[in-house]
Each structure stands twice: as C-alpha cells, then as structure tokens.
Amino acid sequence: METRLVIIILLVHLIVIYYFVVGRHWLKCRLAGVAVSQADILFMRFRGVPAALLTDELVRAHKAGVPLTRMQLEMVYLSGGDIRNVVSGLIYAKRAESGLTYKDALELDLKNVDIATRLKET
C-alpha cells in the first residue's frame, strides 16, 4: 500500500513539473495554431531561451499575420536582441505596409533602435 502511494505521489509531481516546464507553453501554441513541438520547448530551456517569452511573442506574431518561426525568434534572443521589439516592429510594419523584413528588424534591434517608434517617425 505504501509503495502505491509513493508511486502516485511521484507521478503527480512529474505531471506538475511537465506542465510548468513544457506543457503550458506547448498548449498555448497549439491552441493558437502555432506549430511548436514539445521537444522544441524543452530544448529552448536547455539553450537558455525563455520559452514563455518566445511562445507569447510567436503567438502574438501569428495572430497579427506576421510569418515568423521559432528559430527566427530564438536567433533574436541568442544574438542579444529584444524579441518584443522585433515582433512589435514587424507587426507595426505590416499594418503600415512599410515592407520591413525580419532581417532589417533584427539589424535595427541590434542597434538598440525602437523599431515601432522609428517607423512612426518616417
């Protein structure tokens, strides 16, 4: 009887840990229609990429109709950029029909330029 209780407690702990590490981010993406695998989210954590920030911004870009991939946003973070700035700038550029590309947005961000503000000024 005691071993069953220990096994049940361990299983509950594993399920809770899985949910907080991988499950909630994967479910958020899945419900929004963004293709990110559970393995991708797990490996993000190994690389030191904040999965919550990346998945939030990936969903936001997807909802705004900006075609970004997980790899592109990881590249922004790993190169020292600001994911929110790049996504906000690309969303604003799409609405303003300015033709800003991902590459241009990344370059501006790495120069510490607030992309959306810069686009408003032009």
Q: Where are the domains of the chain?
A: 2-121
- Give me the residue label for tokens 């120069």: 111
Please, what is the Cα angle at 121 between 117 and 101, to 5 degrees?
65
What's the Cα-to-Cα distance from 119 to each of 41, 71, 93, 97, 98, rounded to whole Å? 32, 25, 7, 10, 8
pLDDT in tens, 1-21: 688 888 898 999 888 887 777
Mean pLDDT for the chain overall: 91
What pLDDT does residue 15 have? 85
CA distance linking residue 60 with residue 64, whole number of Å = 6
Percentage of the chain surpassing pLDDT 70?
A: 98
Q: Whose CA is closest to 70, among 16, 32, 113, 111?
A: 32
Q: What is the pLDDT of residues 20-54, one digit of tens each?
A: 778 888 989 999 999 999 899 989 988 999 999 99
**Taking the model in full, what pTM does it have?**
0.81
pLDDT range class, residue 118, cuts 50, 70, 90: confident
pLDDT above 90: percentage of residues in the chain? 63
Nearest C-alpha neighbor of 88 from the set 51, 111, 120: 120
pLDDT of res. 117: 85
